Amino acid sequence: MKTLAPARDWATRLAFPLWSSTGFDASLGLYHERLDLDRRPIGASPRRLMVQARQIATFARATLAGWHRPGPEADALDRAIRLYHRRDDAPGWIFSVSPTGAPDRDVRDLYTHAFILYALAWHHRVTGDPGLIRLADETLGEMDAIFAAPHGGFSDAVPAADAIRRQNPHMHLLEALLALYEASGGERFMARAEHLIALATDRFIAADGGALIEDFSLDWQPLAAPGGNRVEPGHLYEWAWLLGEFVRLGGTVEDGLRERLIQFATRTGVDPESGRIVDAVNDHGGIIAASTRSWPHAEGVKAFAAAAMRGSDGAEASADRLLGYLMTTFAPDRLVGGWIDRFDAEGRPLVDHMPASTLYHIAGAIFEAELAFGSDTSGR
């Protein structure tokens, strides 16, 4: 895989040094939300727990892989626990703090809770601290109470912003549960993962062709009639990879399901010449958002890397092409470890800053490519 070595070099030589130094606010003990395109912190933004958790997990994996030597950012999880968990004396984790560390938003958000679980799992892999698994169990108990909802799964947020239920936070909760299972061996985490797999196969994934719908009513019915529902190719790749992780850890899924998700994403959302992936199509495959972001390409790399390990024809070439497009288009060396996260359909940048949360996706793609095609130092 010709693009792997340059991508690994980018991560170890540029990205991890940038985001652990300039990208880390040592005075607060948390990561910056974003840098400008000259790699300067944009310090006025509230610090979302989701961003902190993604960075904590990604740096933990880099440490395990030997790609990064921890510095002051190694204490970011301890700081996050103090600043976000039960900060308002109520169960769960608050959404964000101000740049000074004061509580900013106390809404309880399912997506955010999924990522703090993910961070606890990976940090446990680094430290071996059993208290992190106990905190994960405590958090899951809090989530059962906070986000309880009928018809399976969880509410997106409390208080709710709307009457929509989304697959996306459930996908990341599955990722966190699998990481907790692998970190601890706790069968309770795999049992929860099995429930989410069942929800996905029963509700999220259309039975007639591999589309995975994003948004639903409160009783898990698609929001629109067939042909009017949003599907994100990046999430199809991400689910294909996660289903593979579930199988790797001992679960079972329907034969061919991962391949159907990959095929729908590739057929409807990928430019066959460049490898560019559009943001969204409908459930019949028509493009509805021709803009493009970095993360679907990263998730495509992961899906094809896993497919290559299963022996799928052409999967390595597809992973190689997507990783090359990801690195040259979104994270060129001139940005010295940073990225432009999103472009419009004509290739014009749609953002003027570098969101820290993107590192989780790009580094994840490189880790998985290393696992499949490199020397297996990915931190798994």
- Give the pLDDT band of residue 275 (cuts 50, 70, 90): confident
Say if residue 137 is exposed, middle or buried (CB neighbours under 10 Å; 0-12, 13-18, 19+): middle
Question: Does 246 score more than 80 pLDDT?
Answer: yes
3-state secondary structure of 85: strand
Q: What angle do CA 57, 139, 203 make, to 5 degrees?
A: 85
CA dihedral sign of residues 210, 211, 214, 219: negative
Other residues' Cβ atoms within 10 Å of the Cβ of residue 220: 18
- Give the pLDDT band of residue 377 (cuts 50, 70, 90): low
Question: Does 375 score more than 80 pLDDT?
Answer: no
- Whole-model pTM over 0.95: yes
Q: How far apart, in whole angstroms, are the C-alpha atoms of residue 114 and residue 153?
A: 13
Mean pLDDT of the 344-368 span: 97
Say if residue 209 is exposed, middle or buried (CB neighbours under 10 Å; 0-12, 13-18, 19+): middle
Mean pLDDT of the 274-291 span: 95
Pick the CATH number of 4-47+57-68+165-373 from 2.60.40.10, 3.40.50.300, 1.50.10.10, 3.40.50.150: 1.50.10.10
Mean pLDDT of the 70-89 span: 96
- 148-176 pLDDT tens trace: 999 999 999 999 999 999 999 999 999 99
The domains of the chain are located at 4-47+57-68+165-373
State how far the alpha carbon of 122 is from the alpha carbons of 49, 67, 114, 184, 290, in Å.
16, 15, 13, 10, 35
Mean pLDDT of the 361-370 span: 98
125-134, 269-278, 313-322 — which is least confidently predicted? 269-278
46-55, 133-142, 204-213, 360-369 — which is least confidently predicted? 204-213
Q: How far apart, in whole angstroms, are the C-alpha atoms of residue 344 and residue 228?
A: 22
Name the phi and psi angles at 345, rounded to 5. -65, -20
Residue 21's pLDDT is what? Answer: 97
**Closest alpha carbon to 294 in 360, 236, 367:** 360
Q: In whole numbers, what is the pLDDT of the chain averaged over residues?
A: 96
Integer-rounded Cα Rg, in Å, for the chain is 19
Residue 43's pLDDT is what? Answer: 80
Residue 210's pLDDT is what? Answer: 83
State how far the alpha carbon of 179 is from the alpha carbons of 51, 63, 193, in Å.
18, 16, 10
Residue 376's pLDDT is what? Answer: 62
Residue 379's pLDDT is what? Answer: 60
